[in-house]
Each structure stands twice: as structure tokens, then as C-alpha cells.
Amino acid sequence: MNRLSRADMMKMFGSRGDQMEHNVVGGCELQNREGVGNGMGSGCRGSSAEGRGERIGSGAPIRYSWTREDLRAIYDLPLPELLFRAQTVHRQYHDPLKVQRSTLLSVKTGGCPENCGYCPQSAHHKTGVDRHPVLPLEFVLEKANEAKEAGSTRFCMGAAWREVKDGPDFDKILELVRGVHGMGLEVCCTLGMLSESQAHRLKEAGCHAYNHNLDTSPEYYGEVISTRTYDDRLRTLQRVRDAGITVCCGGIVGMGETIDDRIGLLLELAKQNPHPESVPLNVLVKVEGTPLAGSDTVDPIEFVRLVATARIAMPRSMVRLSAGRLSMSDELHALCFFAGANSLFAGDKLLTTANPGEDHDVTLMQRLGLSFFEASPREEWSMAAAVG
Ligand code: SAM
Ligand code: DTB
Ligand code: SF4
């Protein structure tokens, strides 16, 4: 791989090698000029005494004009340089010692008419996933309560639909959203394509976030799914945004795509204004019976590079370690957190596949000296702002 040398970087980003055109990775400098930081990127609210009470959220300006070349140059930096820059940006916008947890529940499973090559729930693939219709309210509320008790601040309900259809099923979903919202959890839904009015009705019911992934680059998309287009995805994302629901949008690696496709995905995300509030990064869970089950395994270092590049390109977003954590070592998790990941899916199940589970994650946090958010990050920030 043709990585840039430090000399190349200095040519591209300026003589000090740490100032890009839009000062995206020159945060320490900016903090010093503003008299906030100490030159070590500590303008965040960490757990140290001097860190406590400082405001998170000031730092390098947010940029939407990224080019493929910019992102590739960042991605290809020598790893220590890339990690340093990602951590610097991370500290300007987030508490580097805290990780947010979301819990997933598949509220309608299997039999999906879409042919997504990775998905165990597609009716086009024979995977042995047990199908069920929309789950009853009491059951979902019980699961949401368990998730809350276990420390999750967000509850994400997924349905194996191509699109939402108005009628009894959507009415049931609205009831679920109202119920979970009423429990004080942030509600996220992922239900497939939405119309404008459905997005508004979800918002009214208390839906805080909508997950709708672009999955990969526009160029590679057709290799993975042929029953819908990239533009279909973008249209739903716009409707979500217009309805005032926050956007959770990311993708999957390990589907046979090139590094340039991964950069292409990040570019599509980072061009959005505003950036998606959450960026889930999934490593393909290879499910027997899906067309992509035989894909090559992702190089862990390449995954760390992706996380770091996402952090630098979208400084404010929550970058979420999503599917595929069972195949990641603790050391890889640690590197991902250092690279700017600050959220994960908790519990022993994703939608239909397995996940590391609470005990593992709690032990991991202890070993790394990290802790979980107890309220949603947005609530903790506003509490800190009120105190500070
Ligand atoms: N049907 C809705 C949709 O496609 O938006 C919601 C559910 S769908 C399962 C949510 C996301 O899960 C997909 O967009 C995809 O990124 C991710 N996903 C599904 N199967 C996966 C797998 N085997 N490995 C990794 N991610 C997967
Ligand atoms: C996302 O990006 N990943 C989550 C969530 N959003 C909905 C789903 C992962 C699903 C993995 C396969 C499964 O468990 O069915
Ligand atoms: Fe259906 Fe979503 Fe799975 Fe695609 S990813 S097959 S749309 S459930």
C-alpha cells in the first residue's frame, strides 16, 4: 500500500504537518489560541481535576467539503500519526474516557423482501432465522427496561422491512416508540424506507434517532444489493432529517469492498450537512446461507484506520462499534476507542446474531480504565454545561 511519508504530509498540510486547509486536525493550536487548552489536547472534560467542568464541543471547525483525496491521505497516515490526530480531535468534542451503550431489539424478524447480500433476514437467503411479526408492547417494554437497568441509554428497534407500510404494523411500532420513550430511553428505529409523513409520525411519537445505513460506497453498492438504490437510501435519510429526527448512518466492512470503497462510504457520510449524529461501523458477521458468508476477513489495523478517519472527518458524531465485535480482540477494541470510537451495542444479541455481552464489556472497560455513560451523552453534556 502506498502510504504517505511525513514529508508528503508536510507538503499537503503545511510546514508543521498538522494544519489542514480547514484546521481540521490542528486542534491543540486552536485551543491554545483561545486560551482553553494546554497544548496537550485537554480541552475536553476528562476525569482529571483540571479537566472537570471544561466544555466539550469546542475545537476544530466542522467540515463538509471533504474530498476523496483528503480522506485517503488521512487514512494512509503512518498509524501513530493517524491515531494522534484522531485522539486530538476526539478530545476536542468528546470525553475520551466514556463510552455510550445502545441495546438492539429485532421487533419484526426475517422474511425481508430486500436482497442485501450480508443480511440473515433477507427472504432471498436461506439462513434459518426464525421469523416473527411485530412483537407485543409488554414484551418490548420488558426488554427496554432490562436494557435500561443494564446501563444502555439508547434502545434501538429494528424491523426486517424494505419500507414501512401505513396500517396496523406501523401503528404498533408507534405504540412501541411511545412506550420506550416514556421510559426515559432514547428511542432509535430502523425500519427501512420511510415516507415524509411516516418520519413525522415517528418524531411525534418520540423517536429520537433513525438508523438507515449507506453500507458501502455508491460504486460498490450494486454488488451487495440490487432491490434498492443508493438514492433510495439518501431520500429516506433526508426525510428523517427534515422531520427533526437525528440520523444514525454508517456501513459495513468485510463485504469484498476495496479500501477506496470504504473511503467512498466515509466521504458520503462526511459530505452530509449536518453529519450523521451517529455513525455505526459494522464488521460483516458472516452468516451461513448469505451470499457474502465467504468474504475475506477484515484486517484489524485497516478497521482502526477507518475508525480514526471517521473520527477526524466527523468530529462531533458518535462513532459506534456495531456488528462484528465478537470477532474483535480486546486489544482491537482498545485501539478503536483510542482512534475515537465512543459507543457500542451492548448485550449478548444484536438483531439476530451474537454480541459479546455485558460481562465482557464491563470487564473490558475496567481493564481499560474507561466507563460507560449513565445518561445519554447529550443529557450529561447539558448537565455539565448547567453546572459549569
Ligand atoms: N431493514 C432495515 C434496513 O435495512 O435499514 C433495518 C434493519 S438492517 C438489519 C440494519 C443494518 O444492519 C443494515 O443496514 C446493515 O448495515 C446491518 N447488518 C445487517 N446484517 C449484517 C451483518 N451480517 N453484518 C454486519 N452488519 C449487518
Ligand atoms: C447497525 O449499523 N448495526 C446494527 C444496527 N445498526 C441496527 C445491526 C447489526 C445487525 C447484525 C446482524 C444481525 O444481528 O442480524
Ligand atoms: Fe431487509 Fe434490512 Fe436485512 Fe436488507 S438489511 S434484507 S432491508 S432487514
Residue 23 has pLDDT above 50, yes or no: no
Distance 4 CA to ligand 1 centre (A): 34
Residue 158 Cα: closest atom of ligand 2: 7
Atom 3 in ligand 1: which residue has the minimum CA distance?
192
**CATH number, residue 231:** 3.20.20.70
Catalytic-role residue among 156, 189, 207, 336: 156
Positions of E strands within the chain: 98-108, 154-159, 186-190, 207-211, 246-248, 251-253, 278-283, 318-321, 343-346, 371-372
C-alpha 153/C-alpha 3 separation (Å) is 39
pLDDT band at 207 (very low <50, low <70, confident <90, very high): very high
Higher pLDDT among residues 33 and 232, named by residue: 232
pLDDT in tens, 259-287: 999 999 999 999 999 999 999 999 999 99
Domain hosting 54: range is: 6-93
- Buried-state track 281-304, b at ≥16 Cβ within 10 A, e below 16: bbbbbbbeebbbbebeebebeebb
67 and 157 co-located in one domain: no
Q: What's the total number of domains in the chain?
A: 2
Asked if residue 61 and residue 134 are part of one domain, the reply reads no
Q: Is the dihedral of CA 137, 358, 153, 208 positive or negative?
A: negative
143 and 272 together in one domain: yes
pTM, 2 dp: 0.88
Q: Which residues contact 219 (CB under 8 A, 6 or more apart)?
A: 261, 264
Pick the last residue of a domain from 45, 76, 93: 93
Nearest to 184 by CA among 138, 139, 136, 145: 145
Closest CA to 118 of 206, 17, 212, 224: 224
Q: Give residues (CB < 6 A) around ligand 3.
A: 112, 114, 116, 119, 121-122, 160, 162, 192
**116 counts as catalytic:** yes
Q: For helices 230-242 and 196-205, give the axis angle rounded to 10 degrees.
A: 40
Residues paired with 156 in a beta bridge: 104, 188
**Residues forming beta bridges with residue 157, ordered by sequence position:** 105, 189
- Cα–Cα distance, 296 to 376 (Å, whole number): 36
Per residue in 133-154, pLDDT (tens digit) is: 999 999 999 999 999 999 999 9
